[in-house]
Amino acid sequence: MKDIVILGSNGFAKDVLWLLEALNEEDKKWNILGFIDEVSGAEPVAGYGILGNDEWLLQYPHPISAACGLGAPSLRQNVMKKYRGHQIEFPTLVAKRAEVSKHVRFGEGCIVCPGVLIAPNVVLGNFVSLNLGCTLGHDTRLEHFIMVNPGANISGNVQIGSGCEIGTGACIIQGKQLGPNTVVGAGSVIIRDVPGYCTIVGNPGRILER
């Protein structure tokens, strides 16, 4: 078994723990050590303790794997910069109950939760997280450090820039482009291209702030 830790201990980190435990039910590949969290004194999660902060992981004396349980794209980007050049592997984890075409390309450190559907010719960059029950249509491309929250529906031929967060139940129609670091609010419907570095909400989606 390979040693693995989960980065973060809140929200999405608990979903990542569930995913790892489910994968171990079929193939006991992962020895889950616990969580890495910058908040000292954080409570154990589902019987797994907080091992320490980033320094604990950076000083670990042996090769180790880490799964990203950090939801916010900006936080994820900042944390990953610290780990470059160290003996840390970031595996892509795909739930057995996800439906994924064999013609999908994954980057490093992606997380695919149960109920996710990914159509052919989709390309995912590094550290893309697809939460429960979201869908990605054919020929869609997601760049790096993107968070797609539960139940979001992304149609075919959509292009999403790095650092975006797609809210729960949001919908992006076919062929649209989202610039980097865009936040799409929960339940929003995107029917036109969106520039980067903005928040967009509503049906149809409108830019709230930049």
What is the DSSP code string of 73-113? HHHHHHHHHHHTTSSEE---EE-TTSEE-TT-B--TT-EE-
Q: What is the pLDDT of residue 208?
A: 86
Write down all domains in the chain, each with its CATH number in brackets.
2-91 (3.40.50.20), 92-200 (2.160.10.10)
Most distant pair of Cα atoms in the chain: their distance: 52
Using the predicted structure, report yes or no on whether residue 181 has a pLDDT greater than 70: yes
155 — pLDDT class (breaks 50, 70, 90) = very high
Segment 38-61 mean pLDDT: 84
Using the predicted structure, report yes or no on whether residue 210 has a pLDDT greater than 70: no
- Euclidean distance between CA atoms 20 and 25, whole angstroms: 9
The rounded mean pLDDT for the chain is: 94
Of the chain, the percentage scoring pLDDT greater than 70 comes to: 98
Segment 153-169 mean pLDDT: 99
Among 62, 86, 103, 138, the active-site one is: 138
pTM: 0.94
Q: Is 138 a catalytic residue?
A: yes
